[in-house]
Structure 1
């Protein structure tokens, strides 16, 4: 049976490719998507998800409106030079496509329906997931099978500041709440997601067949993303798809090496804002909620899987 997934996201190119990956993966059953601010504003994120679901003819996937600002209420900058003005690189979703957007409490109905059959995956700012914990409580939220979270960086540089990764930096208060309350939480930080490099050659391989309605879109938004990364990281041979790797982990956890640690997040407005902290000493001083942290990944397993899944037809879905 495919793994049922409730996805929190903020599309954005990386998130969009992750959604496409999930829709094409016969081992994943995407039951609902919570759209939030992050790479674009919440309204545009919703439009982007509705567009992808329309292309897949997946009217069964529930679309839920998430947070519009971080818990602090502060202004959120967007990065059109990386994701495009509307979050899909050069692509502009038709304005006529409007998904039916359900209220936030639909999240709890999904959790009640699927319970321990469900994995919650959050690849964006943690705001909506933190609000879910605050509204429903730990007991209800932790009835699910587990939480797969993209965020943080351990003993490796950040990608927004010297120490902070973008999702944790974007709403450190929310990240702190989730890391404190989520049981069976697995964290996929930059340590592994920076390794999720997809190259133009892989995209060309995917494009060789006309297997699904996403292929032209994938090519266009990847090329835009890769060009942005070449500016950010001179000499890079491809683009890291952080969010796709987190969904890859849902079906292939054995491709990673893990440690268990208590994780805290810097809340100050100084150099520690959004910095993920864990005690890696031989005898760590740890009290609190332990999370599983992925620190290494089998890249070949990931890259082979990505090309295979993205070359699938929608009829491969069960």
Structure 2
């Protein structure tokens, strides 16, 4: 049987160490045809996230993939203060080349709308690795284009566990809860990969060393990224690979346990902003609630060491 045609994909991102790992995994996976990357401000500002997207493409020799600068701030509230959780450059100080191509002149939303209207409806997927501001703006400003999206797979939220920026809030949804509400309530095909799952795909120092052993460039770079991740926290034996779970789900959905949940997004004060509530009046969303963590890591390593 011939291989399936690569799926046309957009990566919406705020790199980010774990974003970088996910991006390199996508670039190493022939199952995806990356149409472009759109950037958004996240735990670091838009200029840095956009630069990092270009740096990753330059490193991977994929300069033909365009980068489009997206939202510098949330839809309607002040953006979070830069957290610098991943170092001042957003990727832990790992040595990457400078972008060899400047960001495109069109904005992320302009380009997304043009792409979606040009391609057959349902054939373009979006991997959302940061706050959902760009996708929400597309839904609000260009609903004709947004409804042509095949599927959005987004890392975000938390269902049954504690949040990472509030009692019930995860950073990506907390950073722009109004955008998260727009996307979740849109009725578009959405798979949400929350902290409940991403915390179970954990890289260790041994995993980084195993990636480095074959001396393959992408795998060695991911090893460097994982090791820089450890530098941001002391006395930890493993770190969760949040954003790569989006790509891992797209590659091997059978490794994940999905459930349809009716969700609403809290758009209230900061402490509860972005919190997800399961309620009858919510919108039906597919949510990953379980994962075979070791198998997911094995798939990540296999893809990275094959190129």
Structure-1-length-normalised TM-score: 0.89
After TM superposition, the structure 1 = structure 2 runs for residues 33-48 of structure 1, keeping only pairs within 5 Å, are 33-48=37-52
* 1:141 matched residue in structure 2: 146
* 2:306 matched residue in structure 1: 312
Give the CA deviation at 1:3: 2.0
Structure 1 position 166 matched with structure 2 position 171: yes
* 1:85 matched residue in structure 2: 88
* 2:256 matched residue in structure 1: 256
Distance in 1 separating the partners of 2:99 and 2:18: 24
Distance in 1 separating the partners of 2:270 and 2:61: 46
* 1:277 matched residue in structure 2: 277
Number of positions where the alignment pairs a residue of Structure 1 with one of Structure 2: 300
Partner of residue 26 from structure 2, selected from 6, 22, 25: 22
Give the CA deviation at 1:96: 6.4
Structure 1 position 63 matched with structure 2 position 67: yes
Partner of residue 204 from structure 1, selected from 206, 209, 230: 209
Give the CA deviation at 1:60: 2.7
Gaps of 5+ in 1: 280-285, 314-318
* 1:316 matched residue in structure 2: none
Q: Deviations over 1:272-300 (max 9, x none)?
A: 22211113xxxxxx235311111111112
Distance in 1 separating the partners of 2:52 and 2:226: 15
Distance in 2 separating the partners of 1:168 and 1:96: 29
Partner of residue 193 from structure 1, selected from 188, 192, 198: 198
Distance in 2 separating the partners of 1:100 and 1:127: 18
* 1:283 matched residue in structure 2: none
* 2:123 matched residue in structure 1: 117
Secondary structure of residue in 2 paired with 1:159: coil
Structure 1 position 301 matched with structure 2 position 295: yes
Secondary structure of residue in 2 paired with 1:125: coil
* 1:183 matched residue in structure 2: 188
RMSD of aligned C-alpha atoms? 1.8
Partner of residue 99 from structure 1, selected from 92, 96, 102: 102
Distance in 1 separating the partners of 2:148 and 2:79: 34
Seen in structure 2, the aligned counterparts of structure 1 residues 163 and 289 have a Cα distance that, compared at 3 Å, is closer
Distance in 2 separating the partners of 1:6 and 1:167: 18
Seen in structure 2, the aligned counterparts of structure 1 residues 11 and 182 have a Cα distance that, compared at 3 Å, is farther
Distance in 2 separating the partners of 1:112 and 1:260: 29
Distance in 1 separating the partners of 2:172 and 2:224: 25
Secondary structure of residue in 2 paired with 1:155: coil
Q: Deviations over 1:70-104 (max 9, x none)?
A: 11241421222x21111111236555644332412
Contact 1:130 1:178 in 2 (8 A): yes
Seen in structure 2, the aligned counterparts of structure 1 residues 255 and 94 have a Cα distance that, compared at 3 Å, is closer
Distance in 1 separating the partners of 2:157 and 2:202: 18
Distance in 2 separating the partners of 1:96 and 1:148: 27
Give the CA deviation at 1:5: 1.2
Secondary structure of residue in 2 paired with 1:83: coil
Partner of residue 228 from structure 1, selected from 214, 229, 232: 232
Please say which of residues 121-130 and 258-267 is displaced more in the overlay: 258-267
Contact 1:147 1:182 in 2 (8 A): no
